[in-house]
Amino acid sequence: MDFDAIILGAGGAGLLAAATAGQAGARVLMIDHADRPGKKILISGGGRCNFTNTGTVPERFLSENPHFAKSALSRYTQWDFLSLVESHGIAWHEKTLGQLFCDGSARQIVAMLLDECRKGEVEVRLSTPIGEIGHSDGRFQLAGARAPALVIATGGPSIPKMGATGVAYDLARRFGLKVVPPRPALVPLTLGQDEVMFRELSGVACPVRARVRDVSFEEAALFTHRGLSGPAILQVSSYWRPGDEVSLRLLPDAAGRLKAARRDMPRAHLKAALAQHLPARLAEAMAGRIGLAKELGNLADTEIDAAASTLEALTFRPTGTEGYAKAEVTAGGIDTDDLSSKTMEARRVPGLYAIGEAVDVTGWLGGYNFQWAWSSGVAAGRAIAERLAQGG
Ligand code: FDA
């Protein structure tokens, strides 16, 4: 069976690439080993799919080449995807920090993408393994089909129990593309047995500024029985490398606040002052850690300043992450050096494309990863259509 393009992976990136190429006249076959398309879309955003972020800018993506994502993101923007959502009558809302969610269900996004694929007469084959791939005379052959274009859209290995695999990297290497070592990202961090205080706080959440290296995020952190989670921690986890220290600012302007407490409640102890700003269990744990047994009125400025510096930079060294089983995305992936940023085509293998999470581009938490899937998918879909128009 001859096609103009075969797309491997019916996730967000593959679906929009297929629809874009198909609607421009390309005969597209899409293959996925899962029994239904867009499984990660369905579970995303707590079932409501945080489908994009109004604040999408290239600086909110990690890659060995921080410039790579610029072209695709500017040629198919968050506003373009929002127009598509609106054209399907899908109601949406902004939650916080520019994050856009469906009012109803993530199923609407999958239905929309499938509808777009239908308009493009895309043939979707589910429960189909990729199998052996042949490549000769400028054509790719697999699963009894043949095409001059092959798109790797099989994502990364995060959440293997949903069928996620690292097949993208095997395919890339098979065609001579480099792979930036993949690692779990947007993932909870784990702590060693010695961090007793953190474990005792399991279940406590509070707003923090979390910092690793020179990157920081102000969002909530959640203490867990294994370490730390919550949006602020997931964000810094993408930048964290083994051995790095993480620091948490639990209380901004801690010195000012403690001095005000010393003036207003001199007979009270540190725990009571902290409890005005922090959850009770955290206030107690931090007072214990700081260890000032005196009444506030008896504390010297130097003692308050020392306590404040702990509250403004509680540092710890994670032992690791909770791994791919809990990682929302995979950082690293197919090396952007080997891809065109405009078309996502492999520089040295005409007709081979890679898009979405399979590529070494990883967004922040908050809809950025889907926007990358959409933008890179459309870039490849358009390029396939242009190739066809030029008779290639
Ligand atoms: P994706 O992984 O979606 O699709 C890859 C497809 O390839 C899958 O259909 C898979 O079955 C198929 N495949 C894999 N291996 C194969 C093989 N060997 N053979 C055949 N087919 C194979 N992002 C965001 O922006 N907003 C959000 O709200 C969320 N929420 C969220 C929640 C959870 C729990 C997770 C795990 C992830 C998110 N994300 C997110 C991240 C987002 O889901 C992710 O970045 C995109 O789905 C990536 O889209 P892709 O199409 O690149 O890969």
Q: For residue 34, give the ligand 1 atom closest to its CA.
A: 11
Q: Let me know whether 208 and 178 are in one domain.
A: no
Which pLDDT value is given to residue 199? 83
Q: Whose CA is nearest to atom 11 of ligand 1?
A: 34
Helix or strand run (H / E) with residue 50: strand 50-53
Ligand 1 atom nearest residue 327's Cα: 36
Between the CA of 35 and the centroid of ligand 1 the distance, in Å, is 14
Q: How many CB atoms lie within 10 A of CB 26?
A: 23
Look-up: residue for tokens 């593309």?
177
CATH number at residue 259: 2.40.30.10
12 lines ligand 1 (CB under 6 A): yes
Residue 4 in contact with ligand 1 by CB distance below 6 A: no
Nearest C-alpha neighbor of 4 from the set 358, 366, 373, 353: 353
36 and 160 part of one domain: yes
Regions of the chain where pLDDT drops below 50? none
Residue identifier of the C-alpha nearest atom 49 of ligand 1:
12
- Whole-angstrom Cα distance, residue 355 to residue 341? 10
CATH of the domain at 149: 3.50.50.60
* Cα–Cα distance measured from residue 295 to residue 378, given in angstroms and rounded to the nearest whole number: 63
Count of structural domains, the chain: 2
Residue with tokens 């069928």: 163
- The chain-wide mean pLDDT, for the chain, equals 97
Residue tagged 């490398």 (tokens): 241
Distance of CA 43 from the midpoint of ligand 1 (Å)? 10
297 and 154 in one domain?
no
Answer whether 88's CB lies under 8 Å from 98's CB: no
- Measure the N-to-C terminal CA separation of the chain; round to a whole number of Å: 18
Compute how many other C-beta atoms are within 10 angstroms of the C-beta atom of residue 318.
23
33 close to ligand 1 (CB < 6 Angstrom): yes
Residues 174 and 199 in one domain: no
Both 43 and 159 in one domain: the answer is yes
- What secondary structure letter does DSSP report for 339? B
Q: What is the pLDDT of residue 392?
A: 66
- Nearest C-alpha to atom 31 of ligand 1 is from which residue? 44
How close is the Cα of 294 to the center of ligand 1, in Å?
Answer: 54
Q: What letter would DSSP give residue 364?
A: P
Range of the domain at 261: 189-321
Q: Does the C-beta of 163 come closer than 6 Å to ligand 1?
A: yes
Helical pair 301-312 and 280-290, crossing angle rounded to 10 deg: 130
Same domain, 160 and 214: no
Residue whose CA is closest, atom 24 of ligand 1? 367
What pLDDT, on a 0 to 100 scale, did the predictor assign at position 197?
Answer: 80
Please indicate whether residue 329, judged by its CB atom, sits closer than 6 Å to ligand 1.
Answer: yes
Amino acid at 352: L
Report which secondary-structure segment, H or E, holds 179: strand 179-185
Q: Do 107 and 17 share a structural domain?
A: yes
Assess whether the C-beta atom of 334 lies below 6 angstroms from ligand 1: no
What per-residue confidence (pLDDT) applies to 216? 98
User: Which residue minimizes the CA distance to atom 47 of ligand 1?
Assistant: 40
187-to-23, 79, 183, 239 alpha-carbon distances in Å? 37, 28, 10, 11
Question: Do 296 and 199 lie in a common domain?
Answer: yes
Please work out whether the CB of residue 328 comes within 6 Å of at least one atom of ligand 1: yes
Which of 302, 321, 340 is the endpoint of a domain? 321
Any atom of ligand 1 within 6 Å of the Cβ of 106: no
- Angle of helix 368-389 relative to helix 78-87, nearest 10 degrees? 90
Query: Measured in angstroms, how far is the CA atom of residue 11 from the centroid of ligand 1?
Result: 6
Strands of 215-223's sheet in order across: 314-316, 246-249, 205-212, 215-223, 227-229, 189-190, 320-321
Sorted by sequence, the CB contacts under 8 Å of residue 230 that are 6+ apart come out as 205, 219, 220, 221, 222
* CA 37 / ligand 1 centre spacing (Å): 10
User: Could you give the CA distance from residue 354 to residue 361 in angstroms, rounded to a whole number?
Assistant: 11
Percentage helix, strand, coil for the chain under 3-state DSSP, each rounded to 5: 40, 25, 40
User: Ligand 1, closest atom to CA 38?
Assistant: 9
Q: Are residues 344 and 291 in the same domain?
A: no
Q: Which structure tokens are listed for 389?
A: 């128009």
Tens digits of residue pLDDT in 240-264: 999 999 999 999 999 999 999 999 9
Structure tokens of 224? Answer: 């867990």
In this structure, the answer to whether residues 16 and 156 fall within a common structural domain is yes
For residue range 306-327, list pLDDT tens digits in order. 999 999 999 999 999 999 999 9
Is the C-beta atom of 316 inside 6 A of ligand 1?
Answer: no
Helix (H, G, I), strand (E, B) or coil at 53: strand
Residues 193, 181 share a domain: no
User: Is 250 found in the same domain as 356?
Assistant: no
Centre of ligand 1 to C-alpha 370, Å, is 9
Calpha distance 42→107 (Å, rounded): 6
- Ligand 1 centroid from CA 39, angstroms: 7
- Picking from 280, 303, 321, the residue at the C-terminal end of a domain is 321
Q: Looking at 321, 339, 354, which one is the last position of a domain?
A: 321
